[in-house]
Chains A and B, each alone.
Chain A
Amino acid sequence: MDFAIKMTDVRKDYGTFSLKDFSLEIPRGYVTGLIGSNGAGKSTMMKCITGAVIMDSGNVEMGNGMILKDFGVVFDECPFPQYIDCLHLSTIFGKMFDGWDQRRYLELLSKYGIDQRKKVKDLSRGMSMKLQIAVAFSHPTRFLMLDEPTAGMDPASRDEFLDDLREYMQDEDHTILISSHITTDLEKVADYIVFINGGEMMVQDEKDRFTETYGIVRHAGECPLDRELILSVRHHAHGSDYLVGDKAGVREAYPELVVDDACLEDIMVMIARGSEA
């Protein structure tokens, strides 16, 4: 499979936090969802891709002749000038981006319910995310990198936004990297999931494989499982939860055990907060 972005041994040390020899291929033509706790390194990783952060070492490559101009980016903090209204932003972007489509931009503003006359500083968090999204969709791109784009958005807006992403993905040369703490959004839209924790890559796999293979065994008393099967364990007052990577296998080998399906959030919490067996 060819890649849109390839990171090799990327290292960035902030003292208190570091990205440690981080390697990742983001497949071209697919949506990759990025999950991880606050401070896991998601934003740092994304900033290494755009060059907003200078890496200590390592390499970022773009695939299939892509260049930075092909990027559409949404940051967790709105980076636009605060005292300019949304309509006048269009003039600035018309000079910044090749192929800036003012008509589409204004259409998107009205679709997202953003008042053209409002200054950037007066937009709510959800609205300023939508503004950035409108900008990203108003110039030709091949790669969208979205850092927490759904933060502060209501459920109906999020759903509409996910539909826009699906529409974008009708072109097989398009690629999306999206991070979100709302893991259900990623379950809905991502093809691949990358889970990072403490500046390190924990898992990268197909989204469906996560939801189809991971499970949680709920049991009280002595650990009932072969230790090799357990990815993580959490003990509570009345028993323990064990995260397993092959729930079908466990269900077959231990038919007497309670094995629940695990969603992305369960998997993430179990790995981030659980301990090894």
Chain B
Amino acid sequence: MELIISNSSSRPIYEQITEQIKGHILSGRLKAGDPLPSMRALAQDLKISVITTKRAYNDLEAEGFITTVTGKGCYVSATEPSLLRENNLKIAEEHILKAVELAKQSEISLEELQEIVKILYEGE
């Protein structure tokens, strides 16, 4: 499992882990039933605190992305594609909200903002 942790990022490390594991699950690189490294092994591999990996796994479990089997470890949950879409839509909405707030502060019009979104969406 590929994970890139930045110490200089303003995002807390546990968030970087949850986002990237979610990304792996959503993109299908991690499939339902795939085992995840134990919290302690992941902490050792990434040279970070086990408190951090614990928090990341707890968050992933709370959001239904992984399940813990006592005594065995953590596995990727069987997730509905619609649930994943829902989750991504929610995240996209949060990002757009930030852009809208920023636009309002700087008197950027709705039309301008829509134009940017259109260009970015079609450009990719």
Contacts and interface: CB of A to CB of B under 8 A. Distances in A.
Interface of A: 29-31, 162, 166-167, 169-170, 172, 188-192, 206-208, 212
A207 to B, nearest CB: 6
**A-B complex: 6 closest residue pairs judged by Cβ atoms:** A166-B44, A191-B49, A191-B51, A170-B40, A206-B51, A207-B49
12 contacts: A30-B51, A31-B49, A169-B43, A169-B44, A170-B41, A170-B44, A172-B40, A189-B47, A191-B51, A208-B12, A208-B14, A208-B51
A30 B50 CA distance: 8
Interface of B: 12-14, 40-41, 43-44, 47, 49-52
B40 A208 contact: no
Nearest to B54: A191
Nearest to B50: A191
A212 B12 CA distance: 7
A158 B52 CA distance: 23
Contacts of A166: 43-44, 47
A192 B51 CA distance: 9
A206 B12 contact: no
Contacts of B44: 166-167, 169-170
A208 B14 CA distance: 10
A167 to B, nearest CB: 7
Contacts of B51: 30, 191-192, 206-208
Nearest to B39: A172
A31 B47 CA distance: 13
A258 to B, nearest CB: 15
Contacts of B13: 208
A31 B41 CA distance: 15
A189 B44 CA distance: 9
A21 to B, nearest CB: 28
Contacts of A29: 50
Contact of B49 (A162, A170, A190): A190
Of B40, B44, B51, most buried by chain A (CB within 10 Å of CB) is: B51
Nearest to A170: B40
Of B12, B14, B40, B49, most buried by chain A (CB within 10 Å of CB) is: B49
B57 to A, nearest CB: 14
Given A208-B13, A208-B52, A212-B12, A188 B40 contact: no
Given A208-B12, A208-B13, A212-B12, A169 B49 contact: no
A153 B71 CA distance: 39
Of B13, B14, B50, most buried by chain A (CB within 10 Å of CB) is: B50
A190 B52 CA distance: 11
A168 B44 CA distance: 10
Nearest to A169: B40
Contacts of A206: 49, 51
A223 B49 CA distance: 36
Nearest to B40: A170
B58 to A, nearest CB: 14
B47 A188 contact: yes
